[in-house]
């Protein structure tokens, strides 16, 4: 049994991951803006207070901790004003830096620091499957991902292993991208975006939690990994498949890129650019995807 401390544990991934960790016999605690109890699936999880912006952290949270899972981060799906861009970066970087500084100051020896990352690290790949050693992109999502990962380099100075999963678009029936996309498609108004040819690097949330669990239970799973489904496909194919899974017609013309820019501003590139990721590295750890094809994923999400 391991003792695990999670940041951002009340979010989409955390709510799915916590019950799985507890079922496996692990002990879980959270870092949150307020101390108290977090309830999920009839489980009660202790929350320790922290405030990364003020460098405040209840050090009791780190007592005898074996693993830290860092999931905290403001959603990129907002207007990229100067203020919001700063918040997006700080929400990922400040918390990790506070934890690492505390680990070093208190001479805390954890087994591994596991962090979410983003497949946006690469920017547009033009259909090429990029591996983990490829150079990062230069747009805002890529800058966010770089800063997110770079802060963890400080762990090397205290010989603590790190594991970073560059996540694709996480699909869950309980929220996030799938729930947002499902609304217009359920009305028969779904459409591909831009030219529809850009890759859509999706992953089912159950495979996300499976990878995080493996990083805890397998000491050799560390480093940086792309984490998208082998069934990553074009935006047009994904859109057609989503309409089919909902038994709805798919006849609307593609939503033009210029219209998306008018609606969402610069963050429309999250919809109109595509990333195709090589999965060789994660597969070489022995990881097996439960949802390697889109049809099986969409069927599960409907249930």
From 10, 30, 47, 201, select the one nearest 117 (Cα to Cα).
201
Phi and psi for 90 in degrees, rounded to 5? -65, -35
Cα separation, 208 vs 80, whole angstroms: 27
Q: How high is the pLDDT of residue 246?
A: 96
Ordered domains of the chain (ranges, CATH): 3-171+203-229 (3.40.50.720)
CB 122 within 8 A of CB 152: no
Q: Is the pLDDT of residue 265 over 90?
A: no
Which tokens is 134 given? Answer: 């490829």
State percent of the chain over pLDDT 90.
90
- The SS3 assignment for 303 reads coil
Q: Is the pLDDT of residue 261 over 90?
A: no
Q: How high is the pLDDT of residue 263?
A: 78
Mean pLDDT confidence for 26-38: 96
Q: How high is the pLDDT of residue 267?
A: 83
Report the DSSP beta bridge partners of residue 202.
Answer: 169
* CA pseudo-torsion sign 53, 58, 61, 66: positive
Cα separation, 95 vs 15, whole angstroms: 19
Q: Is the pLDDT of residue 264 over 90?
A: no
Confidence of residue 199 (pLDDT cuts 50, 70, 90): very high
Give per-residue pLDDT as tens, 92-109: 999 999 999 999 999 999
């Amino acid at each position: 049994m391991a003792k695990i401390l999670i940041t951002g544990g009340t979010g989409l991934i955390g709510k799915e991951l916590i019950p799985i960790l507890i079922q496996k016999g692990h002990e879980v605690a959270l870092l949150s803006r307020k101390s108290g109890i977090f309830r999920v699936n009839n489980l009660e999880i202790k929350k320790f207070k922290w405030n990364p912006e003020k460098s405040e952290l209840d050090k009791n949270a780190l007592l005898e901790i074996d693993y830290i899972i860092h999931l905290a981060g403001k959603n990129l799906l907002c207007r990229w004003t100067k203020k919001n861009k700063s918040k997006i970066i700080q929400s990922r970087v400040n918390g990790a830096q506070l934890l690492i500084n505390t680990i070093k100051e208190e001479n805390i020896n954890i087994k591994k620091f596991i962090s979410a990352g983003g497949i946006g690290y690469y920017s547009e790949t033009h259909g090429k499957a990029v591996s983990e050693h490829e150079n990062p992109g230069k747009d805002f999502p890529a800058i966010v991902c770089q800063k997110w990962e770079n802060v963890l380099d400080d762990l090397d100075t205290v010989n603590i292993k790190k594991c970073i999963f560059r996540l694709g678009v996480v699909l869950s029936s309980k929220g996030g991208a799938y729930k947002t996309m499902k609304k217009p498609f359920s009305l028969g108004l779904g459409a591909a975006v831009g030219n529809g040819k850009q890759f859509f690097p999706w992953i089912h949330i159950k495979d996300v939690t499976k990878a995080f669990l493996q990083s805890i239970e397998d000491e050799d799973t560390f480093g940086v990994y792309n984490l998208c489904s082998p069934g990553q496909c074009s935006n047009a194919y994904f859109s057609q498949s989503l309409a089919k899974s909902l038994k709805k017609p798919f006849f609307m013309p593609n939503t033009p890129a210029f219209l998306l820019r008018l609606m969402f501003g610069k963050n429309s590139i999250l919809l109109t650019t595509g990333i195709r990721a090589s999965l060789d590295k994660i597969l070489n750890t022995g990881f097996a995807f439960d949802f390697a094809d889109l049809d099986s994923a969409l069927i599960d999400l409907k249930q």
